Amino acid sequence: MTEVEIDVRGETCPVPLVECRKALKKASPGDLVLIKGTHPASKKEIPMACEALGLEVLGIEDKEAGKEWEIKIRR
């Protein structure tokens, strides 16, 4: 099991969602994907995409006084 980190801080629609999907596609079942971003809508939409894909979101954390977020997903 490996952990992959994706940094999309500063990126806007649809890049965070697309980079997240690309990372999930490359990962193997059981791998962890950590995605770091700043785009507000993606913080809601990445968990929505995970639900649609049937993947488990392990955590959503706010960083830098709410300016950044981190989402952890198990592939």
Partner 1 sequence: MPEKEYKSEKAVLILHSGDMDKFYSALIIGNGALAMGMEASIYFTFWGLLRLKKGELEKGPLSKMHMLGLGKKMVGNRMKKANVASLEKLMSDYKELGGKIIACEMTMEIMGIKKEELRTEWIDTWGAVGTYIQEAKGASLTLFI
Q: In the set 4, 15, 32, 34, which binds partner 1 (CB under 8 A)?
A: 15
Integer Rg of the chain from CA:
11
Tokens of 24: 């999930």
Active site residue 13: yes
* Minimum distance, C-beta of residue 63 to partner 1, in the bound complex (Å): 19
* By CB under 8 A, residue 18 contacts partner 1: yes
Place of tokens 């830098």: 64
Total residues contacting partner 1 (rule CB under 8 A)?
A: 24
Q: Half-sphere exposure (CA, 13 Å, Cβ side) for 39? A: 20
The nearer residue to partner 1, 43 or 75, going by C-beta atoms, is 75
* DSSP code string of 9-23: TT--TTHHHHHHHHH
* By CB under 8 A, residue 4 contacts partner 1: no
- Annotated catalytic residues are 13
